[in-house]
């Protein structure tokens, strides 16, 4: 495809020279497109896929550019744990996998390529530079000299296909300059118009290899971003001689801390850098295919794709996306007869790559919040069957879940920072509140504090929100000013006035003793991430922390301010370990769920406060444990990435009455399958009245049976005539009978007609 450069005779009113006006000025004669107006949403991309461990290291691998043919990725590779020369590295696609990165010999960052791959533009300490390929290596670089007023701190160059025009970032706006062959200089920079530059921050430009689209990132926290920054693009308008209105690349691509964007010549795949669960480091390189239909398809294994291929080039992986079905049943992997010390994969939730949150309501139902569909799934039979609940409008990530004592469940979403509530087991969700703050774009954590106070950790300005009426209304709960606009990843409110927060890419742990009015930095001063926080029954605080260039693991504290690393190290090093979730076990046991390069052993336990840790076994098919939950029946559940999995450790410990010493409560159905009538035999329960609820696979109750156990451990037979509560015959299918109360026994059976 030939490249015809946009006309140079641009309408002068669409540009601004450095000397003419400061950043943020308005321009006369521009199209009627208000600065900061909501951009057109582009949802033509599938789910992001990590380029894998060959490309990505633990620290920051970002600011990359893909070559026109899609076979070479040039990017900043930084791995403080492995050492090596900092600068620009290149990974090559060999038709099956990406190679390990090789240093180009170029010390700099933010690379950009001409369409023929022969010139490499980049940022250096003294300004923007360019190096030419000699056939075997990149040659000595030349500094780009610009006419006009000096502009120090130019960043993120984006060169046009044949190298005679460049766009770069300066002062959080995008500027353009043309090469003047007669002088060897670049012309005085001109700032792009308001279709590109707004009062928000624009950065990371990329010009497509046909010269017709300008991609960039924008930290626009006021017009509906999905994270900060998000990806936008404008199309060259030849008739007007300027860039047209912006398009917003929406879900599921845009997420927090997007740090680069590029496309090959055929534009079949979008490459970008950023932070997201399912990755290998603080900032990773990702890509997304064009979606053939709907939100697209994704592969289960990172890096398993062909550059330049559309969505159809992917294997089955974790499954293709399909239009959302309300309360559609999903057949999980058969639990089998797992031993008490092994993990059983219960389900891979349809359309999910991440299980971000787990919760259990007062009725014993389990909930799982997922990405990229933003769905919440529920299991009414404690893990046998999972069904999608009613939709959370606009959600891409059901990021946080909180079960309340009144039986309701709250769900916090990204984007939109909406909090939804269900009181009927997920059959319907009502919008509880959207915090009224333009800087808040997501609810990353929901927790209960003291005195019925709820707390929400949010994106944007390191801000928390607080509710004192059960989540009906929310008010600002404090801001960590030194943390800027970083994410609040986790929050604890263990005592009156005391709040502990973990943030991303700043000093990781902060504490407040006055309910968020003021904050003090914890004892861990290095930049890092406070991924997870937990308070054990004995009052000890635990935090899963990564410190940039130093260490990673579990830290503990008695006051939330002074933190020390636990003496026993979870296997792995800071270079490949993230501690993402905690859960209490029985008899002082603490579980820690991790993310690591090596899949398999992802949950470790300690019984001595962290002095030693032991593996709980492998979670086959998972790479990260993003959520842990210990249910009332004593089972431990894990939500994972990148397979959208839910796992259970061992088998649930069934509750029994105090008069039954060590007996197991059992609930059996006879016959099974049944023509219609079924007898349920209950054994091992305490004396007293009991009830058994019969549910369909959609989680709805069909019938309730009641009876009385006459003596501890005595058998009770409860017959069911096959009729639902309204007197109609229950249709053929799979059903679940659950003994309500402390015992919590469940059995499943089939009805055939």
32, pLDDT greater than 90: no
Per-residue model confidence as pLDDT tens digits over 188-236: 999 999 889 988 889 999 999 999 999 999 875 444 565 668 899 999 9
Q: What's the CATH number for 666-751?
A: 2.60.40.4070
State residue 482's pLDDT score.
Answer: 62
DSSP-derived 3-state class of residue 575:
helix
More confident residue, 556 or 315: 556
Give 72's strand partners. 92
- The two beta strands, 16-17 and 190-191, are antiparallel
DSSP codes of every residue in 519-552: -EE-S--SSEEEEEEEE-TTS-EEEEEEETTTEE
* CATH assignment, 329-434+566-652: 2.40.10.500
pLDDT in tens, 428-460: 999 876 655 545 567 888 999 887 789 888 776
The top-level CATH class assigned to 438-565 is: mainly beta
Can you tell me the mean pLDDT for 123-127? 91
Predicted local confidence at residue 733, as pLDDT: 83
Whether a cis peptide bond, with omega within 30° of 0, leads into 642 is yes
Domain boundaries, the chain: 39-313, 329-434+566-652, 438-565, 666-751
- Tens digits of residue pLDDT in 289-348: 987 533 332 222 222 233 333 322 222 222 222 334 434 444 444 443 333 468 988 888
Beta bridge pairs of residue 247: 40, 233
Average pLDDT, the chain: 79
Confidence (pTM)? 0.70
pLDDT band at 87 (very low <50, low <70, confident <90, very high): confident
CA–CA separation, 439 and 463 (whole Å): 9
Cα–Cα distance between 661 and 368 in angstroms, integer?
A: 34
Residue 23 token pair: 């950043």
CATH says 39-313 is which class?
Answer: mainly beta
The answer to whether 612 touches 596, Cβ cutoff 8 Å, is no
* 21 pLDDT above the threshold of 60: no
**CB neighbours (10 Å) of residue 142?**
12
Exposure string over 436-450, b if 16+ CB within 10 A, otherwise e: ebebbbbbbbbbebe
Name the least confident of 100-114, 233-247, 358-372, 645-659.
645-659
Q: How confident is the model at residue 540 (pLDDT cuts 50, 70, 90)?
A: very high
């Amino acid at each position: 495809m030939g490249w015809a450069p946009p006309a140079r005779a641009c309408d002068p009113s669409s540009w601004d020279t450095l000397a003419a006006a400061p950043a943020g000025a308005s321009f006369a004669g521009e199209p009627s497109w208000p600065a900061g107006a909501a951009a057109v949403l582009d949802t033509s991309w599938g789910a992001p896929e990590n380029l894998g461990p060959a490309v990505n290291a633990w620290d920051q691998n970002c600011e990359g550019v893909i070559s026109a043919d899609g076979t070479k990725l040039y990017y900043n590779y930084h791995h403080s744990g492995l050492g090596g020369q900092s600068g620009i590295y290149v990974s090559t696609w060999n038709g099956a996998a990406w190679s390990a990165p090789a240093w180009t010999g170029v010390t700099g960052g933010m690379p950009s390529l001409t369409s023929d791959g022969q010139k490499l533009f980049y940022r250096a300490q003294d300004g923007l530079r360019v190096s030419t390929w000699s056939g075997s290596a990149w040659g000595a670089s030349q500094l780009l000299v610009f006419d006009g007023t000096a502009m120090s701190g130019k960043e993120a160059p984006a060169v046009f296909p044949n190298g005679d025009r460049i766009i770069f970032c300066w002062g959080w706006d995008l500027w353009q300059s043309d090469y003047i062959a007669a002088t060897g200089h670049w012309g005085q920079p001109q700032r792009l118009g308001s279709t590109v530059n707004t009062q928000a921050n624009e950065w990371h430009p990329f010009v497509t290899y046909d010269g017709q689209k300008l991609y960039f990132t924008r930290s626009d926290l006021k017009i509906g971003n999905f994270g900060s920054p998000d990806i936008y693009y404008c199309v060259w308008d030849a008739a007007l001689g300027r860039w047209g209105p912006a398009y917003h690349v929406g879900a599921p691509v845009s997420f927090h801390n997007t740090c680069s964007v590029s496309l090959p010549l055929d534009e079949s795949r979008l490459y970008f850098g950023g932070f997201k669960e399912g990755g290998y480091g603080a900032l990773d390189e990702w890509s997304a295919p064009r979606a053939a239909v709907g939100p697209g398809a994704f592969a289960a294994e990172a890096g398993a794709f062909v550059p330049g291929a559309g969505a159809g080039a992917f294997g089955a992986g974790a499954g293709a996306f399909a239009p959302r079905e309300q309360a559609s049943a999903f057949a999980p992997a058969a639990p089998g007869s797992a031993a008490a010390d092994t993990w059983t994969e219960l389900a891979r939730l349809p359309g999910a790559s991440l299980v971000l949150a787990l919760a259990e309501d007062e009725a014993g139902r389990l909930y799982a919040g997922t990405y990229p569909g933003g769905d919440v799934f529920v299991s009414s039979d404690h893990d046998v069957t999972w069904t999608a609940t009613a939709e959370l409008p606009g959600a891409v990530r059901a990021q946080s879940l909180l079960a309340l004592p009144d039986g309701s469940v709250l769900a916090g979403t990204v984007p939109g920072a909406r909090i939804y509530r269900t009181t009927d087991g997920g059959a319907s969700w009502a919008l509880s509140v959207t915090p009224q703050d333009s800087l808040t774009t997501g609810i990353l954590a929901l927790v209960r504090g003291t005195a019925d106070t709820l707390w929400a950790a949010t994106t944007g300005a390191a801000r928390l929100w607080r509710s004192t009426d059960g989540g009906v209304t929310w008010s600002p709960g404090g801001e960590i000013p030194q943390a800027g606009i970083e994410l609040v990843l986790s929050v604890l409110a263990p005592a009156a006035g005391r709040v502990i927060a973990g943030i991303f890419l700043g000093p990781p742990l902060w504490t407040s003793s006055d309910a968020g009015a003021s904050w003090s930095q914890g004892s861990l001063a290095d930049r890092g991430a406070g991924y997870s926080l937990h308070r054990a029954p004995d009052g000890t605080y635990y935090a899963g922390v990564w410190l940039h260039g130093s260490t990673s693991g579990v830290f503990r504290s008695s006051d939330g301010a002074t933190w020390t690393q636990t003496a026993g190290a979870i296997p792995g090093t800071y270079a490949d370990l993230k501690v993402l979730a905690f859960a209490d076990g029985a008899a002082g046991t603490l579980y820690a769920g991790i993310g690591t390069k090596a899949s398999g052993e992802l949950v470790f336990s300690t019984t001595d406060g962290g002095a030693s840790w032991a593996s709980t076994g492998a979670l086959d098919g998972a790479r990260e444990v993003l959520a842990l939950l210990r249910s009332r029946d004593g089972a431990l559940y894990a939500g994972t990435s990148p397979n959208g999995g839910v796992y259970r450790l061992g088998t649930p410990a069934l509750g029994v009455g105090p008069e039954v010493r060590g007996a197991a409560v059992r609930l059996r159905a006879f016959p099974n399958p049944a023509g219609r009538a079924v007898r349920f035999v209950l054994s091992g329960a305490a004396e007293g009245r009991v009830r058994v609820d019969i549910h369909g696979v959609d989680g709805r109750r069909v019938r309730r049976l009641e009876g009385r156990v006459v003596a501890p451990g005595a058998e009770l037979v409860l017959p069911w005539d096959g009729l639902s509560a309204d007197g109609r015959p229950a249709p053929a299918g799979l059903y679940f009978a659950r003994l309500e109360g402390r015992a919590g026994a469940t059995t499943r059976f089939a009805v055939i007609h």
